Amino acid sequence: MEKPKQFLKVLVVRFSSIGDIVLCSPVVRGLKKQLQAEVHFLTKKSFRSIVETNPYVDKVFALEKDLSELLPLLRREKYDLVIDLHHNLRSLRVRQALGVKSIAFDKINRHKWLLVNFKLNFLPDRHIVDRYMDTVQSLGVANDGQGLDYFIPPDAEVDVGDLSARAGFPEGVPYVAVVIGAAHATKRLPQHRIVALCRDLDAPVVLLGGPEDREVGEAIAGAVGEKVWSACGHYSLHQSASIVRQAAVVVTHDTGLMHIAAAFRKKIISIWGNTVPEFGMYPYYPIGEEQHHNFEVKGLSCRPCSKIGYASCPKKHFRCMEQQALPEMGALINKLSVDNN
C-alpha cells in the first residue's frame, strides 16, 4: 500500500551555520506537526548539537569531512523527499545522489549581489524565515506564526545564582547579555566601542562569545570594572543560550546568538555593521511578540559591503561601527533592562 502523504519521510539539508539552522526550525516544526512527517536533518558535525535536541527531528546525520561516506547511509533511508534549505553545490550533490523528489530554497543571491555591489535593492521585504516557509508551501505546510525554536538540554542549563556568584554580581539583579562575537570582524563593534557602551549600562553585564573571543572579553571586563564579567570561552553553546534566555536584555551583533535570543522571545538590541537587516535576517518573533531594536548607521554609501563580512573594513574607516549611536543605545538598554522585570 502506498504511504499516505502525511507520513512522508523527509530529509532536510542545512549544513551551517548556527543562526541559519535556528532560522530553519519553523520548517522542521511544520513538517512534523502539520504533515506528521518523519524528519531527518543533515548538517555539519560542528552544528549537530543544535539539531539533535530538537524534538521535531527524528534523526540527525552529521557531515564531518567527506560527503561520500554519508551518501550510502542516506540512500538506505529511502526518503520520499529532500528539502534543500542550503542550496549550494554540496547540497545539490546530495539531491542528485539520492535521486528522489527534491525542493530547494531560493537564496536570491543575484538580488544580494546587486545590493552589495550597486546598492540596488530588489530584495523582497520579507524575512528569510517566511521565504524558507515558501519552500514547503506546496506540501501544505503553513507558517504557524510561533517563531523560532531552540532547545537546551537540561544538563546545560546555567543556574543564574551560580552565574551571579561566579561573576561577583548581586544575586537576583537582572543582567544584560552582550554578545561580543561574530564570524567576521566587520560585523563586530570594535573593542573600545564595546567598552564605551558597557560603561553606560546600569545593570550588570555578562559578555558572551566563543573561545576565540576570550582575550577580548577579558580586556573589556578589565577596562570597565566589576560590573562586567566575561563568560567568553567558559561555556558551551547550549550554556550560552541558557545565559541568553535568562538575561533581561540581549545586545548582539548579526550572529547566531541573536537568533537564539529571538527563539526565547527576548528583548534584543541588534547592532549592524557591514550587513543590513534588508537581507532578511533580523530577529524573528512569533506573531505579535516582536520586541527588537535595530541599530545601524544609515546613509553610508559603502554599506552593505558584503552579505557575509570581512576581516577588516575594506574602506579602512569602519564608519558603520565607529559611528554607532552608543549613548542612545545605552539609554534604551537601561530602560529595557528595568521594564517588566
What is the rounded CA–CA span in Å between residue 139 and residue 294?
A: 34
What is the rounded CA–CA span in Å between residue 84 and residue 77?
A: 16
* pLDDT at residue 339, rounded to an integer: 81
C-alpha cell at 169: 554580581
* pLDDT at residue 182, rounded to an integer: 94
Averaged over 21-30, what is the pLDDT?
A: 98
Mean pLDDT estimate for the chain: 96
Is the pLDDT at 4 greater than 60? The verdict is: no
The 10s digit of each residue's pLDDT in 199-248 is 999 999 999 999 999 999 999 999 999 999 999 999 999 999 999 999 99
Averaged over 281-285, what is the pLDDT?
A: 97
Averaged over 305-312, what is the pLDDT?
A: 96
Domain boundaries in the chain?
6-139, 154-338
CB 96 within 8 A of CB 82: no
Residue 79 exposure: Cα atoms within 13 Å on the Cβ side: 28
Is the pLDDT at 89 greater than 90? The verdict is: yes
* pLDDT at residue 7, rounded to an integer: 60
Q: Which band of pLDDT confidence, cut at 50, 70 and 90, is reported for residue 93?
A: very high
Averaged over 59-67, what is the pLDDT?
A: 95
The 10s digit of each residue's pLDDT in 122-160 is 999 999 999 999 999 999 999 999 999 999 999 999 999
Task: Answer yes or no: same fold for 6-139 and 154-338.
Answer: yes
Averaged over 173-181, what is the pLDDT?
A: 97
* pLDDT at residue 313, rounded to an integer: 98
Is the pLDDT at 335 greater than 90? The verdict is: yes
* pLDDT at residue 6, rounded to an integer: 55
The pTM (predicted TM-score) of the whole model is 0.96
Is the pLDDT at 3 greater than 80? The verdict is: no
Is the pLDDT at 107 greater than 90? The verdict is: yes
Closest listed residue to residue 198, CA positions, set 321, 335, 334: 334
Give the torsion sign (CA, 207, 209, 213, 215): positive
Q: Does residue 304 have a cis bond before it (omega within 30 degrees)?
A: yes
* pLDDT at residue 65, rounded to an integer: 87
- Architecture label for domain 6-139: 3-Layer(aba) Sandwich (3.40)
CATH topology of domain 154-338: Rossmann fold (3.40.50)
